[in-house]
Amino acid sequence: MYKSLVTTLLAAAVSAGAFAKEGNATADEATAMVKKGIAFIKANGKDKGYTEISTKGGQFSDRDLYLVVYGLDGTVRAHGANEKMIGKNLIELKDVDGKPFVKERVELAQSKGTFWQDYKFTNPVSKKIEPKSMYCEKLDDTAVCGGIYK
């Protein structure tokens, strides 16, 4: 009886989100999510991969962490926080300090392949502009990225 009560209470707590992660995502979580996204794209193809990455609340979205896929021309192929960005070329986009972060990201993808990049961006949870570090890996003609807010 006691064992089944504990099991029932634990199941209820988990389903109610009692053990949900709190706070901002970590660098390790961002790195792991990018690698998971790349593996998903490789296993399921670009169309299904980009659709899944762009699904809010899906497996590639966790608190303030989400994936974005940029073509090496600066065009957004998938976006986990703002589907309105998909298909837009953001190569000229600058952060609040005037840093052309998309152009820099594309150049880093072409020259390094795997990298961290710092800039400022709106946190989807706090809705405030905050310092952000984006982890990216080049995959074919794209950069798959996931970032953390500091």
Identify the pLDDT of residue 61: 93
pTM to 2 decimal places: 0.83
pLDDT category, 21, cuts 50, 70, 90?
low
Q: Long-range contacts made by residues 14-22, C-beta under 8 angstroms, separation at least 24?
A: 21/62, 21/63
Q: What is the mean pLDDT of the chain?
A: 87
| pLDDT exceeds 60 at position 19 | no
Chain segment 88-115, per-residue pLDDT in tens: 999 999 999 999 999 999 999 999 999 9
Per cent of the chain over pLDDT 70 is: 85
Q: Which domains does the chain have, with CATH numbers?
A: 24-149 (3.30.450.20)
Q: Which pair of tokens denotes residue 135?
A: 């982890």
